[in-house]
Structure 1
């Protein structure tokens, strides 16, 4: 039974302390930001600590509840809440000091109390509403009372147990105590070294694999749970084991009058030897605390786990005196030596000093004893806590992660105690011959590690070569120098994880762009049986054994979002807004018949392209057209069938074609010849619902292969058959929308104003225009080669992508012209989170949004970093399309015209509409893209970043489309000029950063010049 006490209504002694008002906005440290973000990402209790204290004697429950509840009046940190909104980011705000909540639980045993506390530890604290500390009192059929405390790691920098428990004791012992005490903790020195926020690798992926549970269902009594059980909940708990030894055990190590660092160094050297023997290694990595006297600040209430330094014991069989002296020397180094940030070593053990806050609980006529309690999510797989109690005894506490065998801990501690006592030779067989054998094993282990690293490097390089079509690429070569970009990087990352069990973060691709460098950053999972991302090629032709291709399938989330938008735009007369009109001009003669056969092969291969769309019971669906019925649909025209039509007229006519998706293919390919010079042109028109940019590049690669084969008189041989798109749609819609992913976006954009034109209505360049809804135009912003090259260099210098840099420059331009400080930008994402469908042609792209927060950046470099992190960090959440985000923010029937963003920025990376079909060593068919003439726009401002290779030279340009009703011709010119100027400024910032505020004057001059020209016109 739980009693939730409203302690403000209890009859308690009043101490006359006035209600305290704290400053409404407080600075948030970098550590608090990291902890808060980790807490939000995981949504569980892994950032929380629990500790338990058994109070016996004459415990006065009323006085204890009152004393606990009043701690908020002594410690302002308990009255602080962490709030996030897009206007201010993460803020820390104070609330009026109110009495802390204290829960009372009735239990029948100490074990039940521990079970309840473990559950409570895993219940996440709502940092925006609740205090970052919880108290619960357990009473009933037990001797005395158990005080349970759950604290959040976000308090680590500013709370110490000594102050809290001393004040608790004072309030308990003197209920009428006045507020004349200044001992509340206000802070601590900055952490030195490494402070882990996340657990290390699963134990099976470290050198502690020999501790992994082999048969977890074997029942052996443990210290807690105290009774044998087959409960799966208990079998997956971290466990702690404790032993006390007479202090004289240290005499043999010259520690008859030891200090804490000396004791820690000796035990660490012994523990490294013990672990190395069992891991078959000759050296071992440890972490130790830099300071052992700051014990009261450890929030976990168990052991020092902050301010750690990395120590490598290079020879575990060296004399203990020498090993411990080397460790002690590292502990005694100056603070300056540890100013750099350390990162966790995979498989390192923590040897640290124990913490016991119960010594500060001095309650009248009450004995306080700290209970043995393991954290739910230990930061290390193996931890050894070392301490000296008040009687001078050596106390050891061994903690093992939940995935270790639940029966190994007691054995380990017993064996280690034997090693400390000098009995290691008989129990561990550490004879000289064994040392030599172990050295051989260690060498083999190191060789195996090197082989693993080599295998990871080889796998990464192989994926690089495949993705970039460059078999000459070496392990030291830069991924981006060989034509890589963010879309290809996403593909490589997915392939490495799904096919090889190698995890790479997208940011690491930019910071460590070679296979050799990236292998050092990779996280390798255990080998797994992988289902390949293809199936039998016979599945391309439906048969009695494979009727699935004929079934009706739902639309994917992205397609469904597009379908909703189609209806919205159609209601205002924009029926062709989702046409994708492409046009190619061939510089060499192309065999049109062979081209038609090649594309027919693509249709057979990718069912998503031969799909019709309709509705049933007001619900849209898609259905694949069988191969045998494909001839009933016309989708291809040769030049002869287009005779008499001028090229420009035909291209414009095709671009505005209105698809009947229920009765025809969602694509049209039409050749036309220019009568003036005989040049061949090709109009490729697709409906967006079946094609995205990723698919376009896949299609062009396969089209090149098929065309070459048909010209040479053979059939194309595909290495595999991609999975059909409708299979993906079924799979996605069979699962519920990922609410955690949706919440990510809703939390990010809640409360932000939606789209408004960049310029206000009263802007000097504004003009009243009578235009049709959706009427628009486009301009090209040309970027000189020098500027383009320098933007590439800047991207590389900032470990970012070219798109990140250009995106930041465009956003800065708009901000300097009056865009809001918190600018919502439409940004498409690949939407391919499942590597099985990387080779599938279809519409996966999600129309997403990003937030550019100028309140948080002051310079160009900072802006690039923010853009990079915002885009890369959101990639895991890009399965959520824009319609679900908008409906989540404003309701299903929000009725807002257009989208929540005014500005849309997208990348066309390594545009494959500029290139050639390679037929032989000396023969090729060259082609280049013809820009479409856009007369409709569904977006206020759209920037298309075109990264192209023309005649072997990399070029960069930006196409800006605009809606006429929002932007006058003079404003369009101003936007172009300012963007062009910002590209130049960014290009000059490779070696030195520049404040964004310094650019305001340059933009003001451009704007004033435009206004003068407009007046004189």
Structure 2
């Protein structure tokens, strides 16, 4: 071990993450892929000021200039070096050399004993300057280039507050050897091996699991369909790789998936978000427009309120929390949007940040006397005059704990947005608790830009034809044979079905054996239970799709979600496993076409608005529910919170099944919340349905259920 380190510098404790990555680097360096991002700097950027900013960043974060050595005693040791200069390098190139140089930097080997795990390159290229940041996975997700450049922007602005901001345009970086031209590189990797490494890198980033290997199962590390959607989008936009949802589920390791993906052209250029123009207004996005018409049909009532509620197990600083929430409202313009109708045309308008003080949207618990979670949930928004969001703390009289009512109108958020907001709220709370403003890896794209983009493009005719072809002539017997009158009523009741841990483990295992997901399995089980209970030959079931077809908007808060419908036909002689595979393929194949609002599909089928929805049954999953978790704290384990289920009294659907997947204290739990139209279904019938479902779930713990024919499934008597 070099004596200069051991004598001059104190040894730093090595985390388990650092140790795992270091060992992987020694044994399989081809599996440890550095992150490299590059930006073209605007002419207004002061390079001298930028250099000082970089020096300050490296001095503030000493881990960026650390070294790792293996001692004679067999221990991994970590040291931090003083000074910033090993982490900064100036390069001068011609314009034709940039692409190859960046790719070479990305693929260069790393010596943990002599090189820092982070490096900044200021590249002078004839008439322009490029900034590149490279970090090694040993640093962990907190030190990714995108996050560090956000800190650079803030520090640069603080160094010279009257100077123009640090304006940067993202550049696309290609691998050092074109993937499509690979035969065998110096490590012996074939083309598919290289693709597998690209996939593995995206898996590690999405799951925050730098120790994943090529043969690890994406779903075993906490992956789910929303994360799969994000990865598939990034593969296409950043790497030019086409990946189908079914292939992802059938081959969920990087090594296996690499054999099925297709290299289909060059990566797309992801443009930096434009600076928000608060003077502009925007049309409604396609999904928003459909929701607005349904909202209007229900007299602009409370049916599209999303009344989330949390119980804080530990005391939370309400002032800091609301300040952090303000950061989210400033970051995401959809949360400070009003809606207006002019000459029959509906449009949305952004409230400028400087005008936020004119709107009341949050309350401390001392201001909430007489308020309750129920009264907040029943609040009726005037979306033309107020923010579409209300955040109120209420002190619970019985327990003394703080409850939080977080009410938001569905027009401005979807479930993906809620999970995103909770992640960002945690980051903002930690920063505000330390007296600092939060920093973001990248600016969030403006949802209103997405709405304008959709308005220009219109309905995709081939995607619409996909749905009308699949659903033409479908006979939804549940919808047609509604159990009683009351078709226009939205009054609802609900009950909950909890899955025991042993049963849940069996369901996950059953799904994985069939290259499926928990959602697809439970969807199939619900369909089969309805088939058995009422003798259905086929059914149309509604569900939700993310609607986020453009990866540039993955970190945008807004209403992208579309409702889609799938046709399920029952063959009594077919097996349960065969039906599960059919349902899985149908749902996964349809995801590429999920940008079409259900309203447009029904019009394409010749249905009128007066006929209502195409389906009576709606199934959705709330995967990795972010409304159960912790707010991080500088010391201790953080501030714990749990979701309080709302009392569901309204529903657009006859039967709604919500699969609630939570992770509490490291343990995965699943609940099935069933909401039913109170005038069309009686509780006795719904409880009978739960009994049938429970029997089917129990059968899945036994061998042979997959091959069992539907006609032989004994669900209405003791199995």
Q: Does TM, normalized by the shorter one, top 0.5? A: yes
Larger radius of gyration: 1
Structural mapping, 1:411-560, within 5 Å: 445-447=183-185, 450=189, 452-528=191-267, 530-532=269-271, 534-535=272-273, 539=275, 542=276, 547=277, 549-560=278-289
Deviation at 1:457, TM superposition (A): 2.5
Paired residue secondary structure (1:847): strand
Query: 1:895 maps to which residue?
Result: 610
* RMSD (CA atoms): 2.3
What does residue 774 of structure 1 align with?
Answer: 490
> What does residue 809 of structure 1 align with?
525
Q: Which residue of 2 aligns with 1:219?
A: none
1003 and 885 in structure 1: CA distance in 2 versus 1, 3 angstrom threshold:
same
Q: Specify the SS of the correspondent of 1:473.
A: coil
| Partner secondary structure for residue 306 of structure 2 | strand
Alpha-carbon shift at residue 802 of structure 1 (Å): 1.0
- Aligned partners of 1:905 and 1:944 also within 8 Å: yes
Of the three residues 698, 709, 718, the one matched with 1:984 is 698
What's the TM-score, normalizing by structure 2? Answer: 0.72
1:1002 aligns with 2:715: yes
Counterpart Cα distance in 1 of 2:561 and 2:246: 21
- Name the CA shift for 1:732/1:757 in 2 (closer, same or farther; >3 Å): closer
In structure 2, relative to structure 1, the CA distance for the partners of 1:757 and 1:744 (3 Å cut) is: closer
Q: Check the 8 A contact 2:182/2:191 in 1, yes or no.
A: no
Partner of 1:562: 291
2:633 corresponding residue in structure 1: 919
1:723 to partner: Cα distance: 1.0
Partner SS, residue 621 of structure 1: strand
Equivalences for 1:754-769 in 2 at 5 Å? Answer: 754=476, 756-757=478-479, 761=483
2:331 is the alignment partner of 1:605 = yes
Higher RCO (CA 8 Å, separation ≥ 6 residues): 2
1:591 to 303, 313, 317: 317
Residue 831 (str. 1) matches residue 521 (str. 2) = no
Task: Quickly say closer, same or farther: Cα 1:770–1:903, change in 2 above 3 A.
Answer: closer
Cα offset, 1:817, TM superposition:
1.1
TM-score (norm 1): 0.51
Q: Is the 8 A contact 2:335 2:412 kept in 1?
A: yes
Contact 2:486–2:680, Cα closer than 8 Å, also in 1:
no
Question: Structure 1: how far apart are the matches of 2:661 and 2:516?
Answer: 16
Alignment of 1:89-488 (within 5 A): 445-447=183-185, 450=189, 452-488=191-227
* Other-structure match for 2:402: 680
Q: CA deviation at 1:818?
A: 1.3
Counterpart for residue 690 of structure 1: 412
Q: Secondary structure at the residue paired with 1:660?
A: coil
Quote the offset at 1:772 in angstroms: 8.5
- Residue 709 of structure 1 corresponds to 431
Shift of 1:683: 0.8
**Which residue of 2 is the match for residue 398 of structure 1?**
none
Partner of 1:957: 671
Name the CA distance, whole Å, in 1 between partners of 2:480 and 2:703: 26
Aligned residue for 1:517, secondary structure, equals helix
| Structure 1 unpaired stretches of 5+ | 1-442, 762-767, 1007-1017
Once the two structures are TM-superposed, the CA of residue 712 in structure 1 deviates from its matched residue by: 1.6
In the comparison of the two structures, how many residue pairs are matched? 538
Task: Give 5+ residue unaligned stretches, structure 2.
Answer: 1-180
The alpha-carbon distance between structure 1 residues 801 and 455, as it changes in their structure 2 partners (threshold 3 A), is: same
Distance change in 2, residues 1:472/1:631 (3 Å): farther
- Residues 363-410 of structure 1 show CA distances to partners (whole Å, capped at 9, x for unaligned) of xxxxxxxxxxxxxxxxxxxxxxxxxxxxxxxxxxxxxxxxxxxxxxxx
Shift in Å, 1:644: 4.8
Give, in angstroms, the shift of residue 477 of structure 1: 1.9
Offset at 1:488?
0.9
- How do residues 654-673 of structure 1 correspond to structure 2 at under 5 angstroms? 654-673=376-395
Matches of 2:717 and 2:229, distance apart in 1:
39
Secondary structure of the structure 2 residue equivalent to 1:780 = strand
Structure 1 pair 758–809 and aligned structure 2 pair: CA distance change class (3 A):
farther
Distance in 2, matches of 1:528 and 1:953, equals 39
Q: Which runs of 4+ in 1 moved over 3 A?
A: 451-455, 525-529, 753-761, 768-772, 989-992
Measure, in 2, the Cα distance between the counterparts of 1:639 and 1:990.
56
**Partner SS for 1:773:** coil
* Separation in structure 2 between the aligned mates of residue 938 and residue 528 of structure 1, nearest angstrom: 42
Cα distance in structure 2, aligned partners of 1:657 and 1:988: 48
Match of 1:581 in 2: 307
1:870 to 578, 582, 586: 586
Counterparts in 2 of 1:888 and 1:857: CA distance versus 1, 3 Å: farther
- Cα deviations by residue, 1:624-664 (Å, 9 ceiling, x for unpaired): 1111111111111111111354xxxx111111111111111
1:906 to 585, 604, 620: 620
Distance 1:581 1:463 in 2: 34
Shift of 1:835: 0.9
Q: CA deviation at 1:771?
A: 11
**Cα gap change, 1:781 to 1:832, in 2 (>3 Å):** same
